[in-house]
């Protein structure tokens, strides 16, 4: 079975893959192949384990609920952005955060650092935080399966903004009152900070500025939290990435 573009479905497998081996797919991967994608005996797939590259494979289903992959040769295929952007994204509500993570991965981010801010609508208990993180990681895997990436971007544990440790290198703070232009940030690695629904507070902006972030304004219109980072990532890819 192939999609409408003639491509074999892609499956992430949380196990080390080897050429010419047979592997019983883990339960979640087997369920996704058989129940979600509706793959059948003999269907071709592409497998990846997050270590780089990908493998052609063919599926066999020896028993109920069992899916075995006969693995072919490894192919050295990488689709990572040269910019190595870490998205510092204030946690947004409902499906907005899910959407941001999914599309940011399609646009090539290397890592996502969720941050909790003064104006964040979402408040996470320890239990809810663990569930959210696991959920976001599943979104990251699904996005990589869809877009062709063979390395899973790191989705980090949420932290309060005042506990966030900014990395070395160029740092961009998206702000309606920003003075800089994205054109000055055409090479990586980069950190890109985007606020919640109501934006960063003035104190938080000052905190980020002291950490070395430079303000950038994305035109005259105010963009929603689920739009701002994605627009910036698309523009950065046009300037110096892989567009």
Per-residue pLDDT of 161-204, as tens digits, reads: 999 999 889 999 999 989 889 988 878 799 999 999 889 999 99
pLDDT at residue 124 tops 80: no
Kindly list the domain boundaries of the chain, sorted by start residue.
10-75, 85-240
What is this structure's pTM?
Answer: 0.91
* CATH, domain range 10-75: 2.40.240.20
* pLDDT score of 184: 85
Please name the CATH architecture into which domain 85-240 falls.
3-Layer(aba) Sandwich (3.40)
Is the CA virtual torsion 103, 108, 113, 119 positive or negative? Answer: negative
Q: Are 68 and 26 in contact (CB under 8 A)?
A: no
Q: Are 100 and 92 in contact (CB under 8 A)?
A: yes
List the Cα angle 160/138/27 in 5-degree steps.
140
In this prediction, residue 6 has a pLDDT band, given cuts at 50, 70 and 90, of: low
pLDDT at residue 218 tops 80: yes
pLDDT at residue 123 tops 60: yes
Average pLDDT, the chain: 91
State mean pLDDT over 84-100: 93
In this prediction, residue 223 has a pLDDT band, given cuts at 50, 70 and 90, of: very high
State mean pLDDT over 29-43: 90
3-state helix, strand, coil in the chain (%, to 5): 30, 25, 45
Task: Read off φ and ψ for residue 78, nearest 5 degrees.
Answer: -125, 140
* pLDDT score of 240: 87
The H or E element spanning position 214 is: strand 214-216
């Amino acid at each position: 079975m192939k999609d409408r573009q003639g491509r074999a479905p892609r499956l992430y497998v949380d196990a080390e893959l080897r050429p010419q081996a047979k592997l019983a797919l883990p339960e979640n991967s087997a369920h996704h192949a058989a129940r979600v994608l509706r793959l059948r005996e003999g269907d071709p797939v592409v497998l990846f384990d997050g270590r780089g590259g990908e493998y052609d494979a063919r599926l066999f289903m020896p028993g109920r609920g069992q899916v075995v992959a006969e693995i072919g040769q490894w192919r050295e295929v990488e689709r990572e952005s040269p910019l190595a952007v870490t998205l510092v994204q204030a946690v947004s509500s409902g499906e907005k955060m899910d959407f941001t993570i999914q599309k940011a991965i399609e646009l090539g981010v290397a890592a996502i650092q969720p941050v909790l801010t003064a104006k964040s609508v979402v408040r996470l208990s320890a239990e809810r935080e663990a569930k959210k993180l696991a959920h976001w990681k599943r979104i990251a895997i699904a996005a990589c399966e869809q877009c062709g990436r063979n390395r899973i971007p790191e989705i980090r544990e949420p932290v309060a903004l005042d506990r966030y440790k900014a990395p070395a290198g160029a740092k961009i703070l998206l702000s309606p009152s920003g003075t800089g232009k994205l054109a000055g940030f055409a090479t990586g690695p980069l950190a890109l900070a985007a606020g919640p629904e109501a934006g960063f507070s003035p104190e938080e902006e000052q905190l980020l500025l002291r950490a070395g972030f430079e303000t950038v304004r994305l035109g005259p219109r105010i963009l929603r939290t689920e739009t701002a980072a994605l627009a910036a990532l698309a523009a950065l890819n046009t300037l110096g990435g892989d567009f």
